Amino acid sequence: MEEIPTADRLATAAPGARDAAAEALSAEAASDPRRRQPVVDAICSWLRAPSGTDDATTAERRAVLRSLTERLRTGGATPPWDDISVDLSGATLHDADFSSCLLTDPAFADTRFHGTTTFDGARFDGGAAFQRAVFYGDAVLTGVRFADDAEFGRTRFRGRADFTGAVFGGIAWFGRGTDTWWEDDEAWETVEEIDPAPWDEPNEDDPEWPVAVLIEDYQDWEEGGDGARFAGDASFRDVRFEGPAWFHYARFGSAATFAGARFSGRVHLDQPVVDLTGAHWAGGTGDGESVWPLGWTVRPLTAAASDGSEGGDLVPDASVLPYARQLADRDPATVAAGLRILARLGDDHPDLRQRVAATLCAFLRTPIPFDLRADDRTPERTALLRLRLQAQRTLTERLRPGPGHWPKTDLWLCGATLVDLDLSGCEAGYADFTGTQFHGTTRFDGSRFEHASFTLGGPCGRAAFHGDVVFGTDPPDGVILHGTATSDGRSGRPGLPVE
């Protein structure tokens, strides 16, 4: 019996001949199912290896990948290879086209997708791992079907992300980007081999966080830091979420529509830019309480009283009028008016204060799309910064004791970019500054929190100060200081506790 092929024939092929070698291997495996997984493993192994960036190398890599995807594509003249595992973790792919492919337990963790990436109509059997992947161009995932959990924790979408009509059969995870493993997981032996793409986002200095790992036994879903990052428009229109839809700490830098989406399980979706027009929630509460953006509420179905369902359609929330989701508007004047309305709502209704604060924090977690150090400040950029300063002042003015104080307010600013933040003399509950980016002059002198976090621990998720900062005590351990840190000894208040 002829020996099953290995990676040798592809790995040893001369430059310029590798696409032909990959095609020859695939053609041989087409008639012998035993050869298919080894051939796929050989192609994936070669694609994961470092390579040059010249046009000829890029073209050859496209061709090698195409020799694989054509064998996994449904709807062609021959049946696709089924039950094939694809591991392209950490690979660099150009204009990858997985449209209509059948993928079993695919691994795309830390993969760099350049150009336009297409998974239109693809079917994922088993789990799908995209954590920490980077899509440098548009990502087209329309009509994809995920049979099990889909992990997009801390994935970066730098172009448009289109999931229109997708079906998530398990958990749709766009939350924290940390992996969670059990204490005895064999993956701990290979954690040093994880090779994430550099975190080279504007205004963000976060070199270690992408590979943070937490121990599953002790973590809740909310813990672990920053989520997926959408720089361009994101569409989840008409998506079916059959399991939990987790977008806690996800960051949407532009429009994000969930119009017509169907949610069946627990949902955490608090970003104010989200559009939920025509969306429906089935009322799944088995995994815990759901969180919706301020300005939206679930309107129970008329049959709810008889079957006990908590579900219904997502509709505008009249109980928080006159706020009507103004923070999602593209007009700076409308956003500014919305910030003033939110401030009044919190002042007048103590029961809304924490929700208003969470909305302001979510607004401040929106990525700033330009370099704050650049000199080319356009009127549009100046207007954006003015709105963010207004949101910061809305919070800080209500965290100082005295008339109008909102006591014990929690701040959820993980991964936020803050400019000239003045928290001097402020008092609040829990403050999450994990991985927060502080620009300009920052003041903490006299501030007092029940607890504050600036890092996940050690080098992971460290907050960074890109200017001068004043603390009421010594700077917290683990933060990155690019300016001068001083301690104001004149303050009579105790310093903030940190971990």
Note whether 143 and 206 are same-domain residues: yes
Beta-bridge partners for 296? 316
Q: Is residue 282 part of a domain?
A: yes
Note whether 186 and 283 are same-domain residues: yes
Note whether 386 and 280 are same-domain residues: no
Q: Is residue 123 part of a domain?
A: yes
Show which of 52, 75, 98 is a domain's final residue. Answer: 75
Please compute Rg for the chain using Cα positions. 25
Note whether 270 and 328 are same-domain residues: no
Note whether 369 and 392 are same-domain residues: yes
Q: Model confidence at 106, in pLDDT bands (50, 70, 90)? A: very high
Note whether 159 and 238 are same-domain residues: yes
Mean pLDDT of the chain: 88
According to DSSP, the β-strands at 245-246 and 156-157 are unpaired
Residue range 365-382, pLDDT digits in tens: 999 999 998 878 899 999
Note whether 327 and 310 are same-domain residues: no
Q: Is residue 496 part of a domain?
A: no
Domain hosting residue 40, numbered range:
1-75
If we measure between CA atoms, which residue out of 135, 128, 140, 148 comes closest to residue 164?
A: 140
Residue range 189-239, pLDDT digits in tens: 888 888 888 888 999 887 667 677 777 766 677 777 889 999 999 999 999
Q: Is residue 186 part of a domain?
A: yes
Q: What stretch of H or E contains 67?
A: helix 55-72
Q: Number of structural domains, the chain?
A: 3
Note whether 26 and 96 are same-domain residues: no
* pLDDT > 90? residue 294: yes
Residue range 131-162, pLDDT digits in tens: 999 999 999 999 999 999 999 999 999 999 99
Note whether 30 and 92 are same-domain residues: no
Note whether 60 and 200 are same-domain residues: no
Q: Is residue 49 part of a domain?
A: yes
Show which of 75, 101, 133 is a domain's final residue. Answer: 75
Tell me the whole-structure pTM to 2 decimals. Answer: 0.92
* pLDDT > 50? residue 497: no
Note whether 303 and 343 are same-domain residues: no
Q: Averaged over 402-420, what is the pLDDT?
A: 94
Q: Is residue 492 part of a domain?
A: no
Note whether 482 and 353 are same-domain residues: yes
Q: What percentage of the chain reaches a pLDDT higher than 90?
A: 66
CA distance 241 to 81: 27
Q: Is residue 82 part of a domain?
A: no
How much is the pLDDT for 7?
A: 54
Show which of 40, 75, 110 is a domain's final residue. Answer: 75
At 41, is the secondary structure helix, strand, or coil? helix
Q: Is residue 304 part of a domain?
A: yes
